Amino acid sequence: MRVLITGAGGQLGSALQRTAPDWAEISAIDVEDCDLTDAPMLTARLVVEAPEVILNAAAYTAVDRAESDEATARAINADAVGVMVEAMASTGGRVVHVSTDYVFDGLSPVAYRPEDERNPQSAYGRTKAEGEDRLRPEDLLVRTAWVYAAGGANFVRTMIRLMNERDALGVVADQIGSPTWATGLARTIWGLVEKGATGTFHHADDGAISWHDFAVAIAEEAHALGLVKRIPVINPLTTADYPTPAKRPAFSLLDCSKTRALLGDRAVPWRENLRLMLEEEASLG
């Protein structure tokens, strides 16, 4: 099966390439290969690649910058998805699109199910929801949250850097969700593709924590591996203490039971995957 991966140089795009099954004939593109804001260029590239499946791991993910640059965010997160869908409709292929917890408002008392009503509260969330709306019933939508990977630009690696620079730092403690190791997400996506899944599915690692909880665990696990010289004081902050241009969901836990039932695998605890990622990070030197 000919599979095109977009966003090839990102955390998920890289993980999708590393975990690709033998049956997938992979081609991969990133921003230097094709400007997703240029619809004619993207269309032409899709004609050349002629994929049977597009795994769209590309996204405008600068959440705060999107508040003042919503047009560019929309071009990448929504309009480019429409171009991909149109191209696949003409060839009989399908799009696998990755979206985000930011399409929800964060007010739910329980984990969000795939079919729950969306109500994005930021430009990033709005443009990602618009991208979801471009998909057809025969396409596949996978929502995720708090993605991180060894070697990438993410919360885990930022925390390690700050912990090695400071004796104390503050981290928001009133936003709840679950982290997602990009490798685990990639494996789930390949599993869903192999099953021929269509519609909407969720994937995140198992457990409900705050960013503060996550930071404390990162400190403990990274220190044990020698990635952090000493564990600093990690003070809990409120969202009000740390204002940002974009509003973050206060609660963005994703219900992944539908995904786990279809794939017949277990929900991996977030700390277990954090440890695996940090071991990989340590091996990178």
Helices 270-283, 211-224: axis angle to 10 degrees equals 40
What count of Cα atoms within 13 Å lies in the side-chain half-sphere of residue 266?
A: 6
124 is annotated as an active-site residue: yes
Report residue 187 CA to chain centroid gap: 13
Catalytic residue among 60, 102, 112, 124: 124
Beta strands in 157-242 (DSSP E): 168-172, 176-177, 180-181, 199-202, 209-210, 233-237
* 116-125 contacts at long range (C-beta below 8 A, 24 or more positions apart): 121/247, 121/249, 122/63, 122/66, 122/67, 122/246, 122/247, 122/248, 123/66, 123/67, 123/69, 123/70, 123/73, 123/246, 124/60, 124/61, 124/62, 124/63, 124/66, 124/73, 124/77, 124/100, 124/246, 125/100
Closest CA to 96 of 19, 36, 6, 35: 6
Catalytic residue numbers read 124
